[in-house]
Structure 1
């Protein structure tokens, strides 16, 4: 079997998990077997997912193959962003400084706030009645 060169990165955001593989190629981008534009519909999602490739200035050098599960599409786009950034750092550690200044090295740790007992939701309270 031929020796396949690829770089791997895992990205997480909220409850979404993305496995990202960068392989030398012509710039194809697939997410869960679908084309990039077919999976990420809005321009904001597309821009968020491709941001690390733009900062590293290597859009057409790699084929990006991702598998994403969990969460919503916006969280998945951010998970793909972190996965691509980590895979790029595995490819070339010199890119870390540029990616870090763009805020793509750190995981966004914000998640859903839990519902508290005796309340309607995480922050929502039942309506107070004085009389």
Structure 2
């Protein structure tokens, strides 16, 4: 059974900053498992992160019909939660084509491409320069 669930065609891939999430939607009663740990415990019981993840399912009124199993690495909790959200939305679109038209206006299918800018030589950070002294 577990081998059937974790196949390539069942993956919803989501990315945000340095976080990458592989999301699997399994018929169930609304459980969240992230990296083999219960979702609320992994996200430190932060309701903002939990609401972020469940929002695509809530829009479609499917929150009690699917369990979310996510394998996440990289980034912090915010980036991970947002990458799981994108993965869930993409997986819902794979399951039924008409879900795309419903989720698109909410922005759930848009990949947030902003990432950390690299540090440049001669500067302290990406853009912060040392203090200029005229004399």
**Shorter-chain-normalised TM-score: which range?**
over 0.9
CA gap of 1:4–1:48, structure 2 versus 1, over 3 A, is: same
The count of aligned residue pairs is 131
Decide which of 108, 113, 118 is 2:117's aligned counterpart: 113
Query: Structure 1: which 4+ aligned runs deviate by more than 3 Å?
Result: 1-7
Structure 2 Cα separation of the partners of residues 51 and 76 of structure 1: 15
SS in 2 for 1:93: coil
> What's the CA shift for 1:91?
1.1
User: What corresponds to 2:21 in structure 1?
Assistant: 18
Residues 2-17 of structure 1 aligned to structure 2 (within 5 Å): 4=4, 7-17=10-20
Could you tell me whether the CA contact under 8 Å between 2:20 and 2:83 is conserved in 1? Answer: yes
Structural RMSD (CA): 1.8
- Where does structure 2 lack aligned partners over 5 or more consecutive residues? none
The alpha carbon displacement at 1:56 in A equals 1.5
Please list every run of 5 or more consecutive structure 1 residues that lacks an aligned counterpart in the other structure: none
